[in-house]
Structure 1
Amino acid sequence: MTVTIASAAPVETAPPRRAGAIVRAALTRIASAIFVLWGTITVTFLVLSVLPGDRATILLNIRSGQTIQRTPAELAPINAEYGFDRPILVQYWNYLSGLLHGDFGQSLQLQRPVADVIGEQIAPTLILAVAALVLAWVLTVPWTLLTAGRRGRAATVGSIVETVTAALPQYWVGVLLLIVLAIHLRWFPVIGGTNLAGTVLPVITLAIPLAGFLGQATRAEFDRAIGQPFALTARSRGMSDAGVRARHVLRHSLIPGITLTGWAMGSLLSGAVLVEAVYARPGLGNVLVSAVTSKDFPVVSGIVILISFAYILINLVIDVVYVIVDPRLEARR
């Protein structure tokens, strides 16, 4: 009798393959984020370079406080000092290399480094954006538990409210709250500040539309998850409907909302700039409005690039974390 002994096939270990996939996915997203940031910087530079108005003339008018036409003899020293007379590619390279070293340029109006101007006002804007994100989730979670995955009026009302709030412009919400709660009822100050009373209305203004977006995302997943076998199994074991919704279904329904958190934080930072202008609140909003009014291009570009960088960085972190937690997401893509 001949006995054939099959040689054992080599077994591939999953962890190295998974680690390699994670590293490749992370590097791909980092490269994509760098490319998007470079594109944003380039577009910002080109837009500010082609705007009407000579930058040397604007700078001299800001310094003198007079809006008059300047002679070429007056403009020549300014053009030479700031490099406005150099070829556009040379200006672009100097601008890009300065950003790589953390130099956003000099404010034309304040005659100070743009990085210092932004650094002094960024804290109130960050506090406003983070507080609005927290409040949006505080509004979204109980509303989803009460109205999602149900039949009849509850589901209809819940969906309508989310659709309407998500479509509300932040500027309009801010003006409405200011008129009703600050001017008529006098519950809050008309001019916002960094204290609690001056922060409440701006936070609500940002949180209401965002809660509508998050509610729409979590509702769709909640409606799908509540009919899955794990929810039916939990009910068959005697768990109440409220327990199933809160302990099992909600956890799955929050995943799309968490995915939107990266977009939401970037949106809140840009929205905070408008809301701060509505409530005359300290922060990047007032700095940006003043810079646009006085055509202080270095400050405008610095704020735009900062918000873009924050948006790209947050989304990059979320993408990488998702691939690490669940590599199947990368396979699906």
Structure 2
Amino acid sequence: MNLAKAILLRLGGMLFVLWAVATIVFLALKAIPGDEVDAILGPGSNASEEAVALAIETHGLDKPAIIQYLIQLRSIFTLNWGVSYSLDQPVIDVIAEQLPSTLVLSIVSLALAWVLALLTSVISVFGRLPWRVISVIEVVSAALPHFALAIVLIVVFSTWLGVLPPISTSEGKSIILPALTLALPTAGFLGQIMRESLLDAMESPFIISARARGERTLGLYGRHLLRHAVLPAVSLSGWAFGSLMSGAVIVEEVFARQGIGRTLLNAVAVRDMPLVIGILMVIAFVYCVVTIIVDAVEVAIDPRARKKVFA
């Protein structure tokens, strides 16, 4: 019964999030100045009155806003997302083409952030000087905006050292700078969480008992400390993944990288409502799925988390 209740709650929460995203996006796009007919027919088009009237009727723009909203909700939840105004392609086809690149970038960035966070959190507990230095690095990296960090990385690794391309190419190494740009701020935040959890665990009775039994440092970290240190960071990994996907909007544009973030930015600029809504719905759905996966991983690491997940 607890499992069934947890599944129903997750599904209900997912539907609520998708509805909220669809509603907010609809209202935001309607609030943007400009005529939606221009976005449909193309800016500056000298369409005839008949063409304008047909566009208005086809897209339901002659109906009240509440009716347009209900029609939009029905289209979203029946996966009938229509055709992109600007690309003249089915929205689902555009998303299917662009989404894999952004998912790969986000997954690589999250893995890199985890590695950096683990390394810095472990190093920082071996003395006051490492703790202070790494604390400053974590705070600075967590506060850096993506566009500023991207420019710094391009100047250092592309302009000065010439070892990495400043824009995305077919080479595998072209993902390094975009991944670093996304990973460093996330690593700074996760590193702070892991370090505090690690310091708390080091003073716990079970660690003191393990030391009294003669457990070596490597055993303490491998069997006890790291397992407890990563739990808070695991809980925040769902949020981190969502943050990485939203950060991809800027990073993909700076590095001229193909992906759903860059496509979203261009779609917003031309007020391509079907494409904007479709992309944001997919991002919201991916975020919901990732949070469910994170809950499962948290339970696998610490069975005590079952009480929270299946409550």
Common topology (TM > 0.5):
yes
Write out aligned runs for 1:29-48 (5 A). 29-48=10-29
Q: Is 1:59 aligned to residue 40 of structure 2? A: yes
SS of 2:87 mapped into structure 1: coil
TM-score of the aligned structures, taking structure 2 as reference length = 0.91
For the pair 1:28 / 2:9, whether they are aligned, the reply is yes
Identity of aligned residues (%): 37
Runs of 4+ in 1 over 6 A off after TM superposition: none
- For the Cα contact (< 8 Å) 1:29–1:319, is it kept in 2? no
1:77 aligns with 2:54: yes
Separation in structure 2 between the aligned mates of residue 243 and residue 318 of structure 1, nearest angstrom = 26
For each residue in 1:25-64, what CA deviation from the matched residue of structure 2 results, as whole angstroms up to 9, or x when unmatched? 33223322321221111111121123221111332235xx
User: How far is 1:194 from its partner?
Assistant: 4.5
Note if 1:152 corresponds to 2:128: yes
Give the structure-1-normalised TM-score: 0.85
Match of 1:25, as an amino acid? A
**What residue identity is the alignment partner of 2:168?**
G
Q: Deviations over 1:267-312 (max 9, x none)?
A: 1111112101000011123322322332222212222222122112
- Is 1:49 the counterpart of 2:25? The answer is no
Please tell me the residue identity of whatever aligns with 1:37: L
Q: Equivalents in 2 of 1:190, 1:21: separation in Å? A: 51
Distance between the aligned counterparts of 2:151 and 2:174, measured in 1?
14
Match of 1:327, SS state, is helix
Could you say if the C-alpha distance between residues 194 and 226 of structure 1 is closer, same or farther in structure 2, counting changes exceeding 3 Å? farther
Describe the superposition over 1:160-186 as per-residue Cα deviations: whole angstroms up to 9, x where unpaired. 222221111112111111122112221
Match of 1:310 in 2: 286
Query: Residues 158-237 of structure 1: matches in 2 within 5 Å?
Result: 158-237=134-213
- Cα deviation, 1:221-270, whole Å, max 9, x if unaligned, reads 11111111221122122222343133311111110111111111111111
Letter in 2 for 1:269: M
Q: What is the alpha-carbon distance in structure 2 between the residues aligned to residue 99 and residue 58 of structure 1? A: 20
CA shift in 2, pair 1:221/1:155, >3 Å: same
Cα distance, 1:71 vs. partner?
A: 7.2
User: Is the contact made by 1:226 and 1:245 (CA closer than 8 Å) also made in structure 2?
Assistant: no
Write the letter of the residue equivalent to 1:139.
L
The match for 1:259 is 235
Aligned to 1:328: 307
The one-letter code matched in structure 2 to 1:188 is L
> 74, 78, 81: which one pairs with 1:97?
74
**Could you tell me how far apart the structure 2 residues matched to 1:100 and 1:328 are?**
32
| Equivalent pair of 1:22/1:323 in contact (CA under 8 Å) | no
1:136-191 residue CA offsets vs partner (Å, 9 max, x unmatched): 1111112222113x552222222222222111111211111112211222111122
- Letter of the structure 2 residue corresponding to residue 38 of structure 1: W
Q: Which amino acid aligns with 1:136?
A: A
Equivalent residue letter for 1:45: F
Q: Tell me if the contact between 1:105 and 1:298 (Cα under 8 Å) persists in the aligned partners.
A: yes
User: Equivalents in 2 of 1:194, 1:254: separation in Å?
Assistant: 35
Q: 161-170 or 256-265, which moves further after superposition?
A: 161-170
Q: Paired residue for 2:276?
A: 300
Against the structure 1 CA distance between its residues 190 and 155, is the aligned structure 2 distance closer, same or farther, given a 3 Å change threshold?
closer
Q: Distance in 2 between matches of 1:283 and 1:327?
A: 36
| One-letter amino acid matched to 2:106 | A
Question: Is the contact between residue 140 and residue 211 of structure 1 (CA under 8 Å) also seen in structure 2?
Answer: yes
Counterpart position of 1:10? none
Rounded to whole Å, the distance in 1 between the matches of 2:164 and 2:130 is 33
